[in-house]
C-alpha cells in the first residue's frame, strides 16, 4: 500500500515510542477526523449540516494546531494539503502528521465510470486498473486514503447509493470489492476503506439512512461477502454505516466491528465512523450524551471518528478519567491509526511535491484507461435488427437528442469534486469527433432539464444544478427535436437521470424517466427514423415502452471524463459492448425488491404472474448484456458425477462466437442445490469469466465448484452448512442460461 517496503518492527517501535509520550487528549486527537469544509465562494452549506462556512475551517485549523485533529477530509489541492499538514506537524508537540482522506469513488481528476458501471464490466482487471489510476492521482495531491470502495449490496434501486456499489449479487460484489482494494492499494497507492459496514444497502423503503432489518442468513450469505473479500484483499480501513442494524446503530456495534470484522475475519487495519455517525448515537436515542457516544463507539471497535464539528471523541479523556474506557483500549485504537500513518510513509515525509502532482494529474494514460473502462462497462440491452453498430461509411446525418447528451457535469456522474469539465467528452462531443466532417451531426435538447423536488445535499458544491438555456420554449424545442430527428438517417436519444438524482441522499419513490424524456423518445420513434436510446443512469429505470419500441438501447451509465469518446467507439463498432447487468432490471417500481436468486415456493409455475396487473418477471435479467458478436454455449461437462462434502468438481463449457466480429463475453456459472437443510435459491452466481472471442472461434471456459461455493449460512444452526444434495449447474450469458449439468454431493459414510 505504500511506495516503500515497510519494516514492521521498526514501525511498531516508532509507534510505541510516540504512544508512550502522548497524553489522553493527544490520543483522542489522533482518533479524530475533521471535515475541512471550504465551500466555493458564495456557496451556502446545506442547512442539515448545521455549520458556519467561515467558522468551520477556521476551527479545524485551530484544532490541527493544538494537536486535536489526527486526520482531515475533503481537501484535494496539494498546496492546501501541504499548508494544513504544516499546521499539524508544527502544531502538535510530537510532530505527528495528519492523514488526509477523501471520497475517491470513481477517480479524482480523471473520472472513471460510476462504480455500478465498473461492476457491469464484470472485469476485475479494468476495475483494478481504474482504482490504481485514481489512487495514483490521489496520492500525488497528498490524499492517503479513499473512502471507497462502497461494497454494500443493493437490492432496492430506489436507494440512490446503488450507483456507488456493485449491485445485487454477493459473488460479483466480492470480486469487484477485492479488485478495487487491490487497485487502490497498488504500489504508490493509498489506503482503501470499504464501506459501510454493514447492511446499509437494505435501507427500509430504499430511503437513505433509514433503518435496516436483515436476518443473520442475509447478512452472512449476501451482505457480508464483499466486505470479507475486501478485508482478505488487505483493505487498510473499514467505514461504519449510519443506520440502525436490527435495532442497534451499526456505528456502535461490537458484534460488527470486533466479533465479525476482527475476530472472525482477522481485519488488522483501522475503522472510521461515517460522517458524524458517532455523534449520531445521541440522535438515534442510543447514547445519552456525547461522552457516552464516544465511549460506546470506541469500545465497539470504531477507532476514528469522522466529524464536521464538535466531535464526541473529544470527550474520550473524560471517559478514560472516569474509568468507562480503559487507557489500553485507547492506546490500541491510536496504535492502529499511527501504524496507518507510518505505512503511508507519513512519519518520514508528510509533504507532497506540487509540481509532480500537476504532472500526474495530466497523465494521458489515465484518460486512456478511463475511456477503456467506459467501453467495457456499457451494457447493450436491446439491438433489434442489428441497428448497432452504426455504419459510419453509409450514414450522412445523425440527430443527437436530449438534455443529457451535451451535459458535461452529468456525463461524469455523482460523487466527484476535483473534475475538469473542460476536458470532459459528452456524448455529443464524442459522436461529432467520431463522425468526422462527412456526417452531419445535429443536436436538439428536446425537453426541459428536470430538477429534484427536494434539492441535493451536493448542490452546495456548485456547478451541479442544471438549467435550460435562456428563453427556452419547451413546445417549440420539442417540435424542433422532432424535425431534427425526422431529417436524420439515425437518431440517438440520451435519457436518464441527472447526476444529482442518484447517489447519497438521492433515493426515489419511482423509477420513471424524469420529466418529459419518455415523451421525447416516443416523438422521435414516431418520426420513423431508426432510433438508438442511450441510457444515462445509476439505477434501473422504467423502460417498458422503449424496450418494446426503440430498436437499440445501450446503457452507458455515467461514463466519466472520456465517456462520450467511449460511447462513440461503441456506437460505430470500434469495439463491441460486453457489459452485463449487475442487477435485475425491474419493469416498474412496484416490483422492487426483485432478485434473481429467490427461492422456490408454492406454485412456481406462476412465478411470472405473482401480480395480476403486470408480469412479475424482470424487464432484463441479471447478467444480461448483448454483443456485436453472437455467442453460443455448448458441451457442458462436470468432471465427476459425485463428490464428498469436501470435494470439488470442475465444470467446463465451450463458448463460440458465431458472429463476424471479435467481441468479449462474460461467461457465467450458476448453481442450485436441489434439497438440503434449508431451501436454497433457484440459482446463484458462483463464477464468471470475461473472454475475448474471435469470429468463428471457440473457447473452453473452466470453473470450479467446491465447498466454498456450496456452503451457506444457516439461520437456525447459526453456522455454515454444507449439505449432501444434487446440484444443478448452468453456464451461459446471463442468469437464464439453459446449458445444464448436474452432480451429486454425498456425505462421507
**Active-site amino acid positions:** 274
| Least Å from the CB of residue 454 to ligand BGC | 17
Using the minimum distance from each CB to ligand BGC, give the nearer residue, 504 or 684: 504
Residue nearest to ligand BGC (CB): 147
Q: Which three cell numbers stand for residue 67?
A: 494537536
Instruction: Answer positive or negative: Cα dihedral of 304, 280, 209, 160.
Output: negative
Q: How far, rounded to the nearest angstrom, does the alpha carbon of residue 669 sit from its chain's CA centroid?
A: 23
Question: In the complex with ligand BGC, which residue's Cβ is closer, 75 or 523?
Answer: 75
> Are the C-beta atoms of 119 and 378 separated by less than 8 Å?
no
d(CA 272, CA 144) in angstroms, rounded, equals: 14
* Least gap, CB of 200 to ligand BGC (angstroms): 8
Q: Which is nearer to ligand BGC, 274 or 410 (CB)?
A: 274
CB of residue 147 vs ligand BGC: minimum separation in angstroms? 3
Which C-beta is closer to ligand BGC: that of 41 or that of 48? Answer: 48
Neighbour tally for 274: CB within 10 Å: 23
The dihedral through the CA atoms of 514, 520, 523, 524 has a sign that is negative
Torsion of CA 540, 400, 500, 132, to 10 degrees: 80
Work out whether the CA dihedral 669, 673, 678, 682 comes out positive or negative.
positive
- State the Cα–Cα distance between residues 152 and 255, nearest whole angstrom: 18
Minimum distance from residue 103 beta carbon to ligand BGC (Å): 5
**Closest distance between ligand BGC and the C-beta of residue 207, in Å?**
14
Least distance CB 193 / ligand BGC (angstroms): 8
CB of 276 to ligand BGC, least distance (A): 8
Nearest distance from C-beta of residue 505 to ligand BGC, angstroms: 8
For the purposes of burial, counting CB atoms within 10 Å of the CB of 608, is it exposed (0-12), middle (13-18) or buried (19 or more)?
exposed
Residue tagged 442547512 (cell numbers)? 47
Residue among 304 and 441 whose Cβ is closer to ligand BGC: 304
Closest separation between CB of residue 28 and ligand BGC, Å? Answer: 21
- Residues forming beta bridges with residue 740, ordered by sequence position: 730
First to last CA, the chain: 48
Q: What span, in angstroms and rounded, lies between the C-alpha atoms of 77 and 69?
A: 19
> Checking DSSP bridges between strand 32-35 and strand 305-307, what pairing results, if any?
parallel
Give Cα separations from 24 to 271, 297, 314, 330, 445 (angstroms).
19, 17, 10, 8, 60
Residues engaged in binding ligand BGC (CB under 6 A) = 103, 147, 195, 274-275, 504
C-alpha to C-alpha distance for 421 and 165, rounded to whole angstroms: 24
Least distance (Å) between residue 189 CB and ligand BGC: 18
* Closest listed residue to residue 97, CA positions, set 341, 441, 286, 276: 341
> Are 40 and 19 spatial neighbours (Cβ–Cβ below 8 Å)?
no
Residue 621: cis peptide before it, omega within 30 degrees of 0? no
- Rounded CA separation 607/601 (Å): 9
Is 196 or 335 the residue whose CB approaches ligand BGC more closely?
196
- CB closer to ligand BGC out of 193 and 515: 193
Q: Which is nearer to ligand BGC, 18 or 293 (CB)?
A: 293
Q: How many residues does the chain have?
A: 749
- Pairing verdict, β 552-555 and 379-383: antiparallel
Q: Is 595 left (phi over 0), alpha (psi -120 to 50) or beta?
A: beta
Nearer to ligand BGC among residue 148 and residue 556 (C-beta) = 148
Write the burial class of residue 47 (CB in 10 Å: 0-12 exposed, 13-18 middle, 19+ buried).
exposed
Beta bridge partners of 140: none
Least distance to ligand BGC from the beta carbon of 238, Å? 12
CA atoms of 428 and 406, how far apart (whole Å) = 6
Q: Specify the residue, 150 or 553, whose C-beta has the smaller distance to ligand BGC.
A: 150
- Asked whether the beta carbons of 563 and 412 are under 8 A apart, the reply is yes
Spatial separation of the C-alpha atoms in residues 405 and 485, rounded to whole Å: 14
Cβ(273)–Cβ(297) under 8 Å?
Answer: yes
Grid cell locating 18: 510516540
Q: Which helix (H) or strand (E) holds 664?
A: strand 663-673
Q: How far is the CB of 312 from ligand BGC (least distance, A)?
A: 16
Cβ closer to ligand BGC: 283 or 640?
283
Residue that the C-alpha cell 462502497 belongs to: 150
Instruction: Give the orientation angle of helix 225-232 with respect to helix 170-184, to 10 degrees.
Output: 30
Angstrom distance (rounded) from CA 426 to CA 405:
6
Nearer residue to ligand BGC within complex by CB, 200 or 498: 200
Amino acid at each position: 500500500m505504500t511506495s516503500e517496503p515497510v519494516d514492521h518492527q521498526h514501525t511498531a517501535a516508532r509507534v510505541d515510542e510516540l504512544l508512550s509520550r502522548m497524553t489522553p487528549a493527544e490520543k483522542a486527537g489522533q482518533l479524530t477526523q475533521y471535515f475541512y469544509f471550504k465551500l466555493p465562494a458564495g456557496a451556502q452549506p446545506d442547512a442539515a449540516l448545521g455549520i458556519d462556512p467561515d467558522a468551520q475551517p477556521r476551527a479545524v485549523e485551530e484544532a490541527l494546531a493544538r494537536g486535536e485533529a489526527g486526520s482531515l477530509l475533503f481537501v484535494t489541492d496539494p498546496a492546501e494539503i501541504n499548508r494544513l499538514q504544516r499546521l499539524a506537524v508544527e502544531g502538535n508537540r510530537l510532530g505527528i502528521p495528519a492523514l488526509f482522506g477523501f471520497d475517491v469513488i470513481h477517480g479524482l481528476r480523471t473520472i472513471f465510470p460510476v462504480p455500478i458501471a465498473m461492476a457491469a464490466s464484470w472485469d476485475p482487471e479494468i476495475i483494478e486498473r481504474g482504482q490504481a489510476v485514481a489512487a495514483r492521482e490521489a496520492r500525488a495531491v497528498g490524499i492517503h486514503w479513499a473512502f471507497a470502495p462502497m461494497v454494500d449490496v443493493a437490492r432496492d434501486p430506489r436507494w440512490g447509493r446503488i450507483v456507488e456499489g456493485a449491485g445485487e449479487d454477493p459473488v460479483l460484489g466480492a470480486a469487484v470489492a477485492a479488485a478495487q482494494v487491490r487497485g487502490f492499494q497498488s504500489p504508490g497507492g493509498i489506503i482503501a476503506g470499504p464501506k459501510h459496514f454493514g447492511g446499509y444497502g437494505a435501507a427500509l423503503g430504499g430511503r437513505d439512512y433509514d433503518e435496516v432489518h436483515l436476518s443473520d442468513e442475509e447478512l452472512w450469505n449476501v451482505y457480508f461477502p464483499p466486505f470479507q473479500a475486501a478485508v482478505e484483499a488487505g483493505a487498510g480501513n473499514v467505514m461504519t454505516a449510519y443506520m440502525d442494524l436490527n435495532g442497534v446503530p451499526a456505528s456502535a456495534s461490537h458484534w460488527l466491528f470486533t466479533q465479525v470484522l476482527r475476530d472472525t475475519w482477522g481485519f488488522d487495519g483501522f475503522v472510521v465512523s461515517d460522517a458524524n455517525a458517532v455523534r449520531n448515537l445521541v440522535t438515534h436515542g442510543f447514547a445519552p450524551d456525547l461522552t457516552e457516544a464516544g465511549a460506546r463507539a470506541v469500545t465497539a471497535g470504531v477507532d476514528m471518528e469522522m466529524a464536521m464539528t464538535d466531535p464526541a471523541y473529544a470527550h474520550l479523556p473524560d471517559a478514560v478519567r472516569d474509568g468507562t474506557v480503559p487507557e489500553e483500549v485507547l492506546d490500541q485504537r491510536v496504535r492502529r491509526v499511527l501504524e496507518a500513518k507510518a505505512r503511508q510513509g507519513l512519519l518520514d515525509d508528510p509533504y507532497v511535491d506540487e509540481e509532480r502532482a500537476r504532472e500526474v494529474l495530466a497523465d494521458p494514460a489515465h484518460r486512456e484507461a478511463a475511456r477503456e473502462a467506459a467501453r467495457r462497462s456499457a451494457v447493450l440491452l436491446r439491438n433489434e435488427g442489428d441497428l448497432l453498430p452504426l455504419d459510419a461509411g453509409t450514414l450522412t446525418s445523425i440527430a443527437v437528442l436530449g438534455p443529457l447528451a451535451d451535459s458535461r457535469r452529468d456525463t461524469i456522474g455523482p460523487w466527484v469534486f476535483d473534475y475538469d469539465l473542460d476536458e470532459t467528452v459528452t456524448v455529443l462531443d464524442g459522436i461529432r469527433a467520431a463522425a468526422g466532417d462527412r456526417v452531419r451531426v445535429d443536436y436538439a435538447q428536446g425537453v426541459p432539464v428536470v430538477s429534484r423536488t427536494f434539492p441535493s445535499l451536493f448542490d452546495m458544491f456548485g456547478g451541479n444544478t442544471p438549467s435550460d438555456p435562456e428563453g427556452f420554449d419547451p413546445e417549440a424545442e420539442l417540435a424542433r427535436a422532432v424535425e431534427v430527428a425526422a431529417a436524420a438517417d439515425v437518431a440517438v436519444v440520451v435519457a436518464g437521470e441527472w447526476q444529482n438524482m442518484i447517489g447519497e441522499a438521492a433515493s426515489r419513490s419511482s423509477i420513471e424517466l424524469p420529466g418529459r424524456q419518455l415523451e421525447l423518445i416516443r416523438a422521435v420513434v414516431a418520426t420513423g427514423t431508426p432510433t438508438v436510446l442511450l441510457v444515462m443512469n445509476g439505477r434501473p429505470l422504467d423502460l417498458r415502452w422503449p424496450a418494446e419500441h426503440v430498436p437499440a438501447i445501450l446503457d452507458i451509465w455515467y461514463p466519466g471524463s472520456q465517456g462520450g469518446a467511449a460511447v462513440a467507439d461503441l456506437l460505430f463498432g470500434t469495439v463491441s459492448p460486453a457489459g452485463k447487468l449487475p442487477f435485475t432490471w425491474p419493469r416498474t417500481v412496484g416490483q422492487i425488491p426483485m432478485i434473481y436468486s429467490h427461492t422456490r415456493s408454492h406454485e412456481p409455475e406462476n412465478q411470472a404472474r405473482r401480480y395480476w396487473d403486470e408480469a412479475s418477471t424482470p424487464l432484463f435479467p441479471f447478467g444480461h448484456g448483448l454483443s456485436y458478436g453472437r455467442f453460443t454455449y455448448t458441451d457442458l461437462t462436470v468432471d465427476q458425477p459425485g463428490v464428498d462434502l469436501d470435494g470439488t468438481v470442475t465444470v467446463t463449457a465451450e463458448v463460440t462466437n458465431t458472429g463476424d466480429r471479435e467481441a468479449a463475453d462474460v461467461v457465467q456459472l450458476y448453481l442450485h442445490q436441489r434439497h438440503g437443510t434449508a431451501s436454497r435459491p433457484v440459482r446463484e452466481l458462483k463464477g464468471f469469466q470475461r473472454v475475448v472471442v474471435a469470429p468463428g472461434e471457440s473457447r473452453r471456459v473452466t470453473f470450479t465448484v467446491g465447498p466454498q461455493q456450496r456452503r451457506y449460512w444457516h439461520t437456525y444452526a447459526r453456522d455454515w452448512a454444507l449439505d449432501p444434495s444434487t446440484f444443478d449447474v448452468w453456464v451461459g450469458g446471463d442468469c437464464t442460461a439453459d446449458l445444464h449439468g448436474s452432480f451429486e454431493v454425498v456425505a462421507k459414510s
